[in-house]
Amino acid sequence: MIRHYTEPRNRMVVKRAGVRAGDRVVDIGCGPGESAALAATAAPGVQVVGVDPVFWFRLATALRTLGGGRAVQVRRGAAEALPVPDGWATLVVSINAFHHWEDRRRGLAEVRRVLAPGGRLVLVDEDFPEDHQHTRFHREAGEDAPVDAGSPVVREWLAELGFRDLDLERVEDAGGTPHHVLRGERGS
């Protein structure tokens, strides 16, 4: 489990997300906070809200980012009900959490709500092979395939929500683990 929060993956995502000076970032499923900490220090004036439903992950994020002043806030929540005002975020990231969202379509609508027009979304999921326990779990649950960042239906949902410039990339982190990285921008 903890390998899903490792530095090579988080560094790769923060770099691909293109964190800019003054960005307001929401990290959905922030886990123990490594990506939130990296985003907060990626450029000057960045503010990060780390969101996770699990108390222990929120605690780990708070401890990891304690020295960062008010650059990182940690809040209890889930993708379907983000504790962030309308249009506050300029960047939303979710690293290996999207496939765990309870209602992915509703979560994406919530992402649209919190993103300012022109705000960016970066969804990342590990590209699980067919024989992986995650893939087997979803097949046993009756799904044809897990719905993750690489699934075509996700791009359809985002297009319906007015996201543009959708780009899906398959990349490997520094540890050699393959991922789907889906980026898009909220339209007006």
Give me the residue spans of the domains in the chain: 2-186
The order of strands in the sheet holding 115-126 is 72-76, 47-52, 24-28, 89-95, 115-126, 178-186, 163-172
In this prediction, residue 13 carries a pLDDT of: 84
**Whole-angstrom Cα distance, residue 80 to residue 69?**
28
State how far the Cα of 182 lies from the Cα of 180, in Å rounded to an integer: 6
Question: Could you list the pLDDT tens digit for every one of the 188 residues in the chain?
Answer: 444 455 677 888 888 899 999 999 999 999 899 899 999 999 999 999 999 999 999 998 898 888 766 799 999 999 999 999 999 999 999 998 998 899 999 999 999 999 999 999 999 988 766 665 655 665 666 665 567 888 999 999 999 999 999 999 998 877 777 889 999 999 98
The residue count for the chain: 188
Assign 98 to helix, strand or coil. Answer: helix
- The pLDDT of residue 142 is 63
With beta carbons less than 8 A apart as the criterion, state whether 121 and 186 touch: yes
Residue 141 is classified by DSSP as T
Which residues, including other chains, have CB under 8 Å from residue 22's CB and lie 6 or more apart?
A: 43, 44, 45, 46, 90
Q: Three-class SS string for 21-82?
A: CCCEEEEECCCCCHHHHHHHCCCCCCEEEEEECCHHHHHHHHHHCHHHCCCEEEEECECCEC
pTM here is: 0.88
CA distance 76 to 119: 22
Token code pair at residue 60: 């780990």
CA dist 46 and 154 (Å) reads 28
Domain 2-186 classified CATH 3.90.1150.10? no
104-114 vs 152-160: helix crossing angle, rounded to 10: 40
